[in-house]
Amino acid sequence: MRKKKNIILENIKLLTAGAKGVAIGKTEDGKTVLVSGAIPGDSVNVRVKKAKSKYYEGEAVEVLEKSPFRTEPKCIHFGTCGGCKWQNMSYEKQLDFKQEEVYNNIKRIGGIENFETMPILGSEEQYFYRNKMEFSFSNARWLTQYEISSEENFGSKDALGFHIPGMWSKILDLKECFLQEDPSNAIRLAVKEYAVENGLDFFDVKNHEGFLRTLMMRQNSKGEWMILFQLFREEKETREKLFAFILEKFPQIKTLVYAINPKANDSIYDLDINVYFGEGYLMEEMDGLKFKIGPKSFFQTNYKQALELYRKTLEFADLKGDEVVYDLYTGTGTIAQYVARNAKQVIGIESVQEAIDAAIEHAELNGLTNTTFYCGDMKNVFNDEFMENHPKADVLITDPPRDGMHQKVVEQILKLAPEKVVYVSCNSATQARDLALMKEHYTLVKILPVDMFPQTHHVENIALLIKK
């Protein structure tokens, strides 16, 4: 069998950013090159990983000329860790490329022209913006090429950190992370140090054994913290000594919870959560609305920017107080409740029962009597019978997952024909696909990209549609 040829494309000038944060260049004969490991403005040599008829995919192996947009990454783990891949690009250019991506998707995929593009809403905080982080314990620390080839003993193979992209069994042992504010780093490092010093065994993914599995940290805007440990087995004395150590060292911890997880995966949603200290949840407030955040709760991870997103969604909806509003993919009802104070009635639909339970609880907590929530698969619940049994929507808000809306849901919106649709999206490509299906009946008035995740290629977008 012939060995695959190692193709190197030389001196490729990278012109712009593409989907999933890759940089895009052209060969001399005009063929597109999608490059990882570099940024727009760089000139690079590229090792080809995939050669297609219309384009190449590859990775930068040498930077010949550095982009003027380059910045020095803050984190020592940059390039190994799978997060913050744009940390080596100025924040201003990150915003430019995100705005361009959203605009291009709406035009190319959506086939829509003549809409207003509002300037992207950048995040006030470019670092330390996440209120929730999850870390994994492993007895198989990721080793650098130098460590592998060296005869030296580099000490413990235990790690507490992130999974290496594409290598689920290997964990990068984090020394620092700039995503969650202090004392996040201090708590993680103290837990690791205590566990190593006291001989607590870290999880072995391959053999499915070991005491410590995962560590999750959540905080609210008041600086109160929740800690969640996943343990493979119960060891009461060992567990209580670890918890007592952490609670004594970090008085910011408002509640500490744990789960015993002997399963094959780390998902907590089917596990019983045990409260060791505190109430088992944190309270959060957004413009006067209260939310109870438990270990399994979905809540936007960038609190300040989420608040801006909700404010802009309400602004786009432009409610006068007498409207019936439908909120599709309502989640825990955050947007539904945020707009309810300006509407006659809000009806939310969501497929996850726990989320609906939380939405109902939050509505009661906030004294909202004009919200109703329904649970079920969107394409099955949001049907003709549903519309017959509920008042017609004047305004429809939709905030679907990355895959966008099911075609049946889009068809049902067109049947319902609300005067106004506000479409919040975390994936402008699937949003553009859905808007294309609606463009005969609705005019896209304006879009507003919102940056929820600085240092990454991810971008949200709010679109306002008015019935023709």
Task: List binding-site positions for S-adenosyl-L-methionine.
Answer: 300, 329, 350, 399
Give yes or no: 75 in active site: no
Q: In whole angstroms, what is the distance from residue 288 CA to residue 366 CA?
A: 9
User: What amino acid is encoded at 54 in this protein?
Assistant: K
User: What amino acid is encoded at 308 in this protein?
Assistant: E
Strands 395-398 and 420-425: parallel
* Locus of tokens 């940056």: 451
Q: In whole angstroms, what is the distance from residue 316 CA to residue 342 CA?
A: 13
Q: In whole angstroms, what is the distance from residue 45 CA to residue 25 CA?
A: 11
Ranges of beta strands (E only) in 261-306 are 274-277, 282-286, 289-293
Q: Is 332 helix (H, G, I), strand (E, B) or coil?
A: coil
Peptide bond before 183: cis, by omega within 30 degrees of 0? Answer: yes
* Locus of tokens 């695959």: 4
Phi, psi angle pair for 49, to nearest 5°: -100, -35
On whether the CB atoms of residues 420 and 349 are closer than 8 A, the answer is no
Q: In whole angstroms, what is the distance from residue 262 CA to residue 266 CA?
A: 9
User: What amino acid is encoded at 405 in this protein?
Assistant: M
Q: Which residues are annotated as a binding site?
A: 300, 329, 350, 399
20 DSSP assignment: G
On whether the CB atoms of residues 335 and 423 are closer than 8 A, the answer is no
Q: In whole angstroms, what is the distance from residue 336 CA to residue 350 CA?
A: 11
Catalytic residue numbers, as ranges: 426
